[in-house]
Amino acid sequence: GAATVPLLRVQGLAKHFGAFRALDGVSFDVMPGEVLGLVGPNGSGKTTCINVITGLYRPDGGSILYQGRPVGGMAAHRLVHQGINRSFQIPKPFKSLTVRQNVEVARTYGQHAARAGEAEGGVAGDIGELLRFLGLEQHADRMAGELTSAQQKMLDLARALATRPKLLCVDELGAGLNPAELDLVAGRLRELARSGIALLVVEHLMDFVDEVTDRLIVLSAGKNLFAGTLAQAVQDPRVVEVFLGA
Ligand code: ADP
């Protein structure tokens, strides 16, 4: 039925840097409202995959279907308008704008994402609510450059959410967060998924992956190695080998 149509279908995705095949035929589906983990050793192609899906890089092969339509090679801003956005491993906020202004700029960038026929509301409907949701309300009027790196990560997430994504890719959100911040952010990601946003989560921290994701794709050297649950992954000798060998 309609509920089983993937929001995103990646098939045979390839990305080359010179002669190097960073992605060498990666395939997976993300279902609506699903939290899919994308894991694998350093250099296996996780960030490249997000970079291609979100339009930072053009694919060299394969296809990306979003809501059944090809979007491979589409410019990042057009993808944002269609509902695909991401947060960055290393956030780069406008440092001399306030936290609130940073989110306002992002909301303006994603304005066309107030798509015809879609209700306002949800956490992204109101910037104050969005900042509260991510624990940034008391920092709203501070310059973004004054935030800690953990707070800058939350701001980056707020900026992405302000564009009202249907598919949100998050890259190493957990790195550098303390246990309390990790807990908060894991809960928030689950909440976003419950609200219907699909998440593609690149992450090294396996506890975080365990808490947040429904299912995993493991990459190795730009190829699919495994698809399934984390419980299944840790039983798979190929998965164990690439992680121990890394
Ligand atoms: P991961 O996120 O799994 O650690 P990446 O996707 O960042 O891996 O990188 C995969 C491989 O592609 C690495 O060997 C990396 O050095 C290479 N790579 C990534 N981006 C570029 C680029 N812009 N130019 C050249 N090589 C790149």
Q: How does strand 69-70 pair with strand 84-87?
A: unpaired
Which residues in the chain are classed under CATH 3.40.50.300?
Answer: 1-83+165-246
Nearest CA to ligand 1 atom 25: 17
Burial class, 136, CB count within 10 angstroms (exposed 0-12 / middle 13-18 / buried 19+):
buried
Is 48 near ligand 1, meaning CB less than 6 Å away?
yes
Residue of 3, 1, 67, 7 lying closest to 35 (CA atoms): 7
The tokens describing 46, both together, are 């996780």
- Exposure letters 235-246 (e unless 16+ CB within 10 A, then b): eeeebeebbeee
Find the 52 Cα to ligand 1 centroid distance in Å. 12
Ligand 1 atom at minimum distance from 57 CA = 23
Sign of CA dihedral 17, 19, 21, 24: positive
According to the model, what pLDDT value does residue 3 have? 59
Q: What is the pLDDT along the chain (246 residues), one digit of tens a residue?
A: 555 789 999 999 999 999 999 999 999 999 999 999 999 999 999 999 999 999 999 999 999 999 999 999 999 999 999 999 999 988 999 999 999 999 999 998 887 555 444 545 555 668 999 999 999 999 999 999 999 999 999 999 999 999 999 999 999 999 999 999 999 999 999 999 999 999 999 999 999 999 999 999 999 999 999 999 999 999 999 999 998 764
Ligand 1 in reach of 220 Cβ (< 6 A)? no
Residue-wise DSSP of 173-225: -STT--HHHHHHHHHHHHHHHHTT-EEEEE-S-HHHHHHH-SEEEEEETTEEE
Q: Going by CA atoms, what residue is nearest to atom 5 of ligand 1?
A: 45
| Domain at 1-83+165-246, CATH homologous superfamily | P-loop containing nucleotide triphosphate hydrolases (3.40.50.300)
ipTM of the complex as predicted:
0.98
pLDDT at position 116 is 44
44 close to ligand 1 (CB < 6 Angstrom):
yes
Q: 34: which residues sit within 8 A by CB, 6+ positions away?
A: 7, 193, 198, 199, 214, 215
Considering the entire predicted model, what is its pTM? 0.93
Mutation to probe ligand 1, out of 16, 38, 48 (largest number of atoms < 8 A from CB) = 48
pLDDT of res. 244: 73
